[in-house]
Amino acid sequence: MVGDEGKEEEKVAYVEDVPILEDKQWSELEAVVLSDERVNASMKDKQYRLYSHSFVRYLEYSDLPNNSVEPNKWYANIVYIYHEGNDKYLLSALVDVEEKKVVDVLIVKHPSQEFRSSTADNDSDLINIASHNRPSFSIAYYNGTATNTYYFSIRVNAPTSYNGQISPHENLDFVLNATKKNSTTSELCIPSNRTNSYWAQVGMIWSYNTKDIVWTDTREGCGHRFYSRVPYGDSNRYIFSIHTSRSGSAYTWYICAINLTARVQECQQRSNIDEGTFLTTNKHSSVWLENWIVTSNWYTYFGSNIQAGNAKYKKVGDSTVYNWDSTVKIDQDCRGRVYLSNIISGDVTNGQWATWNLQTMATSYPAC
């Protein structure tokens, strides 16, 4: 990519200016949201609960939701989930933090299925919520010279099409992962161990009639959450990133997704974590394709393979953005056996791009 568009993409990728809100401030904004007439009308007489806190900005030249929303400005995004009959919905309320005013309300249908990610260890408790399958993986993990990293990002091109025919309660996902240094990897999906171990993930998921942008972390028990403002689109271009910032004696982690085609960005805030640097030379700080599908013909449901590349990092004390300088590429079957990758061609290092071959994943590494 060249020209002004490429420069703009580089600028929005390295998010350093995301606000930090304390729990008390979020509570104050929740009260603002729940007093809004539009929110009350939507959730009246319905069961609802808080779903997530994030920050959203619409990039310059994007289609803004309304005249009250400004481009390139961070808004607090408070999301509630509510039930209506047998269906679930996410209500996303954008709040101007300074004015304490709701500027936009968006309602999107929540996918009918719940998904759980794995941490590539295939421990007995890491199973798909619905299907009880064990997944296989194709992983490119950072193996370079930097040891004190606090920022990872990857660019991903969504497949040209997906027809939604993956069987119910099975899924495929492609994600970026970052793990807190000194974590115990067997604890990464156990919320009660979050003071000792922490892991975050962001990317794409495909399942029965579902294609979405998702995130999760240790505090969610590896159960996927859905972004309310960043849409999935066939052939759309994305940047996924995870970065940290210090706030007092603790750290805040941000789990971010940018749809460069729709030009909208959303960052989940996860506060009060005791470390801000990433574990490296480990498959849990990586990009990977994760397959929960038992059958071998699902690759025909996609119009193209998955492409990702231009992986970046930052080091503590250094504001320079670096290309990943080295990766290890492995495939892992559903029993946990590891092989040199024959799914990944190319590389995500040094500004390059790699391709994950879906046919090879489907036929050689099914879930079990």
Residue 9: the pLDDT is: 67
Residue 81: the pLDDT is: 95
Measured CA angle at 226 (ends 282, 332), to 5 deg: 30
Residue 207: the pLDDT is: 93
Region(s) of the chain under CATH 2.60.120? 136-364
Distance between CA 243 and CA 14 in Å, rounded? Answer: 9
Distance between CA 70 and CA 54 in Å, rounded? Answer: 17
Residue 6: the pLDDT is: 57
Dihedral (CA of 71, 75, 79, 84) sign:
negative
Q: Mark 194-211 as b/e (b = at least 16 C-beta within 10 Å).
A: beebbbbbbbbbbbbebb
CATH topology of domain 7-109: Nuclear Transport Factor 2; Chain: A, (3.10.450)
Residue 243: the pLDDT is: 95
Region class of 45: left (phi > 0), else alpha (psi between -120 and 50), else beta: left
Region(s) of the chain under CATH 3.10.450.40? 7-109
Ordered per-residue pLDDT tens for the chain, 368 residues: 334 455 566 667 778 789 999 999 999 999 999 999 999 999 998 999 999 999 999 998 888 999 999 999 999 999 999 998 889 999 999 999 999 999 999 999 998 777 777 787 754 344 455 556 899 999 999 999 998 999 999 999 999 999 999 998 899 999 999 999 999 888 898 888 766 899 999 999 999 988 999 999 999 998 899 999 999 999 999 999 999 998 778 999 999 999 999 999 999 999 999 999 999 999 999 999 999 999 999 999 999 999 999 999 999 988 899 999 999 999 999 999 999 999 999 999 999 999 999 999 999 999 99
- Token digits for 255? 């789990």
Residue 1: the pLDDT is: 35
CATH topology of domain 136-364: Jelly Rolls (2.60.120)
